[in-house]
Structure 1
């Protein structure tokens, strides 16, 4: 049930209504060419082990699906519970998709990354992810960033100059610095282990680096924490690349796809290109 990244990018380039109607457009920031190419690429096939939650690094209050891509928090009171992915990364730029319905979040729902030493269960209700020096969490309900047991402020930040991933025009209705932005079900985690940053893509817009100065050479794992009984959270690894700059072919195809816009599926076969290149430019390639 992982959402295809190509569908996400349709929203980013104006193909869908989710991105165009989102107030988050006004909070988006420009993306690097390296990230733009990844966001316009097809996700890897399903079943990759990097989409698995860890069976050993998981609170006992989570139930795991047989495919290990979904966890469900049991209805346990006065407990904050976390789970991290089975595979961590210490180099490259990587993107994961987290599906978590707003109706099933409750309070203290946090999404982010952790080292292998992050605690995964605590008494009471709190943002467990980000509650210690080994984890970094974005609390979705309040938009607060947490690390080392303290709040680092709200995310996304209000920008005076904004840009959507697909280059769309910013909208009016910018949220005030004191208000929380409603975060939809699907969230993309963008972890750049080479630069030591973690950011998020929501409704087709990259919201910038939420955390910087992440530890270098240390494996970091996508992670979540929850206090709500019945919360169902899915994970899917979408794409990754090394620190090398994008290939010229990838940059050229990105430019062509952006130029063709939402009708590129119907217009690609009209380009004066060999069939193999036309196929390469299709949205699902």
Structure 2
């Protein structure tokens, strides 16, 4: 570095050279070390980690690696993530994702109790009451599927579908609640009717006779926010499009029921397999 003589004072001292530091490129950190680090990072921050570099993204892409296993173990007891409830979400990451999408105890009727596992609700035994609950996470983009398992009696009305945050979740009579306003779209699996805007839109699935939904059947809600459609499957049988022209609003999986002590389980599956 060149200095010029300053006649008004002494020459300045040369600037010190920056100290040398040992460092390792992110891409060169061994996978087992990265897995150990990521296991200590909060789950919401792992997305930022995956965007850091290609190596980190590849480590986190493996949905059964020790990172996701560790986080899954922290959030859920072993008996839950090995249970039949989560059999259709086989990887540790998909089980953890389903945990974050489970029923919302802060967005339900006062007559709904969410069980400790988070995936199952109980409709408490109150007479002359219809009660509903929404999932924790809704979407206004992409394609998404949820699996709903009715594990108790259906009663006179059992409605499965989607709604916005503004849809009613309680009514002091026995009614088909989901679809009783402009903010919900539902399939009453007891009457085999589609409901929206307080109207019966049509019979569903229609066409050739299909066995009705029974206790224990697995019904899938399939929401396509790009095509603005809603469809259903029953035990892996596609039932056809139910609704088209859905508005560009954030939609949440929703269920309404009237039967006391009935239990309903919901599991987020991610993107439909046909997508």
Name the TM tier (shorter chain). Answer: 0.5 to 0.7
For the residue of structure 1 that corresponds to 2:94, the secondary structure is coil
Deviations 1:201-246 (A, max 9, x none): 1122111110111111x110000000000110011011227xxx96
Aligned to 1:268: none
1:56 to 100, 106, 109: 106
Question: Taking structure 2 as the reference length, what is the TM-score of the superposition?
Answer: 0.64
Aligned to 1:232: 263
Aligned to 1:23: none
RCO greater where, 1 or 2, for CA within 8 Å and sep 6 or more? 1
5+ long unaligned stretches in structure 2 = 1-83
Q: What is the alpha-carbon distance in structure 2 between the residues aligned to residue 57 and residue 65 of structure 1?
A: 14
Report the structure number with the largest CA radius of gyration. 2
Structure 1 residue 2: deviation in Å? 2.4
Describe how 1:1-285 pairs up with structure 2 within 5 A. Answer: 1-2=84-85, 4-5=87-88, 45-48=94-97, 49-101=99-151, 104-158=153-207, 174-175=208-209, 181-184=211-214, 185-216=217-248, 218-240=249-271
Structure 1 residue 50: deviation in Å? 4.4
5+ long unaligned stretches in structure 1 = 7-40, 159-173, 247-285
Q: What is the alpha-carbon distance in structure 2 between the residues aligned to residue 44 and residue 237 of structure 1?
A: 12
Structure 1 residue 46: deviation in Å? 1.6
Deviations 1:134-192 (A, max 9, x none): 0011001110100000101111020xxxxxxxxxxxxxxx42xxxx8411321011100
- After superposition, the Cα gap between the structure-2 partners of 1:56 and 1:3, relative to the gap in structure 1 and judged at 3 Å, is closer
User: Is 1:71–1:232's contact at 8 Å kept on the other side of the alignment?
Assistant: yes
RMSD over aligned Cα, in angstroms? Answer: 2.2
User: Is 1:5–1:42's contact at 8 Å kept on the other side of the alignment?
Assistant: no
User: Is 1:83–1:223's contact at 8 Å kept on the other side of the alignment?
Assistant: yes
User: Is 2:86–2:95's contact at 8 Å kept on the other side of the alignment?
Assistant: no
User: Is 1:106–1:228's contact at 8 Å kept on the other side of the alignment?
Assistant: yes
Question: Taking structure 1 as the reference length, what is the TM-score of the superposition?
Answer: 0.62
Aligned residues: 188
Aligned to 1:258: none
Q: What is the alpha-carbon distance in structure 2 between the residues aligned to residue 57 and residue 239 of structure 1?
A: 21
